[in-house]
Structure 1
Amino acid sequence: MSEPILWTAEEVQRVTGGTWLELNPQGRKYRRCTFPTKYLDSDCVVIHVHGPGWPDKCIDGSHQRGMTSDDLIRRIQNYSNTMVITSQRPTMPTGTPVLLVRSTYDALFALAVYQRSRYEGRIIGITGTAGKSSTRDFLAALLDIKVPTFASFGNWNAIEGNALSLANLPPKGELAVIEISAGAIDGLRRRNSLELVRHHDAIITSIGVNLTSKTPTAKYVAEIKSMLFSALPDDGCAYFSSAVQEIETLIASAGSHKRRIVGRPGESSISVEIVGEELGKTHLRISFLDYTADVSTNIIGSGQLSNLALALQCAADLGADPRKLVEKVSEITLQKRKMEVKNYTLSDKSVHLLNDCHNATLVSFSSALNYLDRLSRGFRNQIFVIGKIVHIEGWEKHVYETLSHDLKRCNPKTVILFADGLDPLEHELKSLNMNVLRATDAKEALKLIRRNITDQTLIFLKGSHRGTEMRELGDSLQKHLRKRSVEYASANA
């Protein structure tokens, strides 16, 4: 493993105040601390998600719901040199070191605070209504050109996820990129990520309506997220786009700190210009103060390209070589289901799938649909499978009315609505004389898609996966199209 050693057993015991129940592992060292079992590995400290403090989202996301300490110990038996931190005394004998603490939730934060206190590098905090994870991944990849860069895990951007990231900071590391949710900035469960992370620079990717029960307007969203700027140290820099909503709120929060408004002449040192687009590919001209180059990239859509520009500006400011940055842009790819393009040939039909169902906000919908609007004339048939936008309670009519007009502009032949709660969107689309179908489950949606496929068809999937089968539909559709494509290729070999 390439990561630096992070923890000794003695440090874990001292920081958490725990008591050894099995095998005091004197002198043992560990490379990772985790509570999501997804990140289990050898040389790992595993925190048992048990007892008070843990929110349901963490329990479910950790895949430890209902696990006893015995269950967890059995779960990690196949990994070498592991340790379990638990507040529940095991009943089975074990060869795994077990550290008993009063609260595993408090232990997580104790480990985070300790590790952050000895971290010697610079931290870039990232937030926004959409694009947080992508920008984090872009920036980490770009900064890796200069020095190995730590990045936070997956979508763990709430307060517990921030603690998990901090607990894994390599003490001698130089750069780290941490994704932070609005709730973690505002404060959750008597803790606040601004105090926990103590970032040096900050990026806000976008501002839009989301979580309306807590942040009912874009301005209120901006006021919460821009706290990331107001908490900067004296030498910190605030990064945001010239096209961001509520820009004056962000400027005010940045105050006297250095700021980079990417896309505004005189306030940034780079520009990213689209010189050509095709499905799944963007041709860019990237300019720095003393270097300009053209490059092709798999990053597509105005939102993701704005995220890339923010990451490029930050990486350049932190000393990465512009020529190497441009080279890296050609290699970066988006995560699965984020503007992911697949092309298939089925008998006499050419079919293209754009899967963007990783998540959905009105901001990310607008970005994807703006992209499709520019490319739509290249396809004879477009099938849009649209799911719901979550966390817009009370704003459904406004949000879906805006979305319906964005959809109309792309002029799809068929719109399949795939989720409950989409009656307001159906009403708006039908008032615009659009062809609307409904599907209650993935099987029915797949049947409707297959029925409407013709040659030169573009299928677009977009909607939140939370509480829906949108991801399952995307996986089933890709499996079906891949199978048909392979069968056709074999028949014509």
Structure 2
Amino acid sequence: MRLSTSQIAAATGGTLHGPDVDIDSASIDSRSVRRGQLFVPIVAARDGHDFISAAVESGASAYLTDRAPDAAVDATAIQVADTAEALADVGRAVRALLPGRVVGVTGSVGKTSTKDLLAGVLETTFVTAASAKSFNNELGLPLTLAGAPDSTEAVVLEMGARGVGHIAQLCSIASPTVGVLTRVEGVHLEMFGTIEDVAQAKGELIDSLPADGLAVLNADDPRVAAMASRTSARVLTYGVENAADVYATDITLDDELRASFTLHSPWGQAPVKLGARGEHQVGNALAAAAAGGGLGVPLDQIVEGLFAAELSGLRMEMSTTAAGVTIVNDAYNANPTSMVAALTALARLDASRRYAVLGTMAELGDDSDAAHRSVAKQALDLGVTVIAVDEPHYGDGVTHVAGVDGAVAALSELQRGDAVLVKGSRVAALERVADALSE
């Protein structure tokens, strides 16, 4: 979104140094800065101020700074008290220029895929901007807003949280008019404490909605369904198991694990085929259909958007090696719910033998040991051979290995017709195993 540096100075309470120039987006990474951007140096493990000169050399038109501008840097500077807070203010300034179709998506699981599916639906009808990858925190969200084109008619923003109050902070920047809540699960309990705290935090999105807004709630999750009482906005429910405004029947999976179903909604019913893999994506698709329909996307366009939507990387990516082995790369992240969903999908594959290379499920708190053992048991019950990478808590009955090399060595006898699922929390970076097997 095009802003002048004088507008940014006014929005951030900063002081403008240098000529008034325009920027069309923002970046916090000097390595990926492109011409016309605002560079925002963040002070974290490394001080982004050390990279201002490099950012300007790469094309940044202006930069924020919390100290006196460097006279040797030939670019407009905006001096602010805190660069991270100023970035949030930039996000608020852009939000004030956008139309009312701003959707927040949150939940313990499924929020990135739901965001991607909803973006696909909205793109059929509106000029749409959406969070890249998982840009879902106090830095990523305003960066998404700042990068929205001037012609934007709808925005989809993923919202994550590390504790109570975080989503409320994001909503203070984004002012969403639509809130989509997927599920409340016992994940990130090391940060939240209890599942009730998770529900309280995720529900802050619903609390923030205006009276003329829309809450899209999962009828299959009692904690989410109960959040209807937290808003005066219109409520649309979706679900597979329980009665809902938007629901699916006749669910089937093809040989590529892509789901087809009949979509039922207040706007009619229609057959749907998803491009995304896994039966667990049906619920995410229903959430996207509910939000899209609530914003006025015609039913036939909803169907088209659900099929064409491109999911973020490392989510149920399927490939076949030259040796005829199927690799399912779902290595972006993991928690007990998504693990079971991926294992269930693997069990449905037409394969001679099925293997799951599993990494740690991080941030589960006191439930971590039991959760890992439970996932391993469910995998074994499904007939899946488990290879646990650097995670002893999967317990007995599985093969324990160290690192990528250990996982690849354990799979040295793979044969044509075998299938391998690779999944773990982001810290495990198990896509390296999928890459090695593919090579």
Query: Normalising by structure 1, what TM-score?
Result: 0.81
Aligned residues of 2:238 and 2:247 also touching (Cα < 8 A): no
Mapped contact 1:30–1:45 kept (Cα < 8 A): yes
CA contact (8 A) 1:242 1:261 kept: yes
Instruction: Give 1:454's aligned residue.
Output: 415
SS of 1:232's equivalent in the other structure is coil
Note if contact 1:46-1:83 (Cα within 8 Å) is conserved in structure 2: yes
1:293 Cα deviation from its structure 2 partner: 4.1
Q: Deviations over 1:103-133 (max 9, x none)?
A: 2223212222333334332211111001111
SS of match in other structure, 1:302: coil
Instruction: Report the CA distance shift for 1:343/1:285 in structure 2 as closer, same or farther (over 3 A).
Output: farther
Match of 1:401 among 361, 373, 386: 373
- Which residue is equivalent to 2:359? 387
Contact 1:226/1:249, CA 8 A, preserved across alignment = no
Kindly state the Cα deviation for residue 311 of structure 1 after the two structures are TM-superposed: 0.2
2:394 — aligned with what?
A: 425
Q: Tell me the secondary structure at the aligned position of residue 477 of structure 1.
A: helix
Q: Which moved more, 1:317-326 or 1:281-290?
A: 281-290
1:84 aligns with 2:46: no
Q: 1:142 to 1:234 in 2, by over 3 A?
A: same
What is aligned with 1:140?
119
Specify the alignment match of 1:209 in structure 2: 186
Please say if residues 47 and 86 of structure 1, whose CA atoms lie closer than 8 Å, have aligned partners that are also in contact: yes
Shift of 1:283: 3.0
1:6 to 2, 13, 20: 2
Measured after TM superposition, the shift of residue 46 of structure 1 is 0.8
Aligned to 2:90: 111
Quick one: distance in 1 between partners of 2:76 and 2:68?
12
Q: Does 1:74 align with 2:48?
A: no
SS where residue 163 of structure 1 aligns?
A: helix
Larger Rg: 1
Q: Percent identity?
A: 19
Residues 1:273 and 1:126: Cα distance change in structure 2 (over 3 Å): farther
Matches within 5 A, 1:409-488: 409-412=381-384, 414-419=385-390, 422-426=391-395, 430=396, 434=397, 436-449=398-411, 451-466=412-427, 468-478=428-438, 480=439
Residue 88 of structure 1: CA displacement? 4.0
Change (3 A) 1:387 1:287: same
Q: Which residue of 1 aligns with 2:11?
A: 15
Does the 8 Å contact 2:343/2:356 carry over to 1? no
| Residue 127 in structure 1 maps to residue 99 in structure 2 | no
Displacement after TM superposition at 1:143 (Å): 0.5
Deviation at 1:66?
A: 4.5
Q: Secondary structure at the match of 1:415?
A: strand
Q: Is structure 2 residue 321 aligned with structure 1 residue 321?
A: no
Specify the SS of the correspondent of 1:130: coil
The superposition leaves residues 250-276 of structure 1 with CA deviations (integer Å, 9 ceiling, x where unpaired) of 344346742323347764145364233
**Aligned CA-pair RMSD:** 2.7
Taking the aligned partners of 2:279 and 2:419, their CA distance within structure 1 comes to: 19
Q: Distance in 2 between matches of 1:330 and 1:110?
A: 36
Alignment partner, residue 35 of structure 1: 28
The aligned counterpart of 1:153 is 132
- Equivalent pairs counted in the alignment come to 439
Other structure's SS at 2:334 match: coil
Moved more, 29-38 or 137-146: 29-38
Match of 1:236 in 2: 213
Query: Bigger CA drift: 314-323 or 249-258?
Result: 249-258
Letter in 2 for 1:356: D
- CA distance in 1 between partners of 2:6 and 2:435 (Å): 45
Task: Provide the TM-score with structure 2 as the length reference.
Answer: 0.90
Amino acid aligned to 1:443: D
CA distance in 2, matches of 1:42, 1:280: 42
Cα distance in structure 2, aligned partners of 1:103 and 1:245 = 40
1:226 shift after superposition = 1.9
Contact 1:136 1:151 in 2 (8 A): yes
Query: Distance between the aligned counterparts of 2:98 and 2:233, measured in 1?
Result: 26
Distance (whole Å) between structure 1 residues aligned to residue 6 and residue 135 of structure 2 = 27
The whole-number CA distance in structure 1 between the counterparts of 2:317 and 2:187 is 24
Judged with a 3 Å threshold, the aligned counterparts in structure 2 of structure 1 residues 288 and 91 are, in CA distance, closer, same or farther, namely closer
Alignment match, 1:484: none
The question of whether the paired residues in 1 share the 8 Å contact of 2:207 and 2:230 is answered with yes
